[in-house]
Amino acid sequence: MINSLDFAVLSFTSLFVIVDPVGLIPTFLAMTEKNTGPERVRMAQLASLITFGILILSFLFGQRLLTAFGITLPAFEIAGGIVLLLVAIDMLQARRTALKETQEEKAEGIDKHDVAITPMGIPMLAGPGAITAVILLSNKAGTFGNHMVLAGTIFVVSALTLLILWTVAVRSKMLSTIALKIMGRLMGLILAAIAVQFILNGVLAARLFS
Confirm if 124 and 87 have CB atoms less than 8 A apart.
no
Is pLDDT above 60 for 56? Answer: yes
Which pLDDT score is estimated for 16? 95
Average of per-residue pLDDT across 156-185: 82
**Mean of all residue pLDDT scores within the chain:** 85
Into how many domains does the chain fold?
Answer: 1
Across 75-79, 149-153, 177-181, least confident range: 177-181
Which pLDDT score is estimated for 112? 59
How many angstroms separate the CA atoms of 121 and 83, rounded? Answer: 19
Confirm if 51 and 99 have CB atoms less than 8 A apart.
no
The whole domain housing 136 covers 4-209
How many angstroms separate the CA atoms of 72 and 79, rounded? Answer: 11
Measured N-to-C along each axis, helices 144-170 and 37-68 cross at an angle, to the nearest 10 degrees, of 150
Is pLDDT above 60 for 141? Answer: yes
Q: What angle do CA 117, 119, 122 make, to 5 degrees?
A: 65
Which pLDDT score is estimated for 100? 61
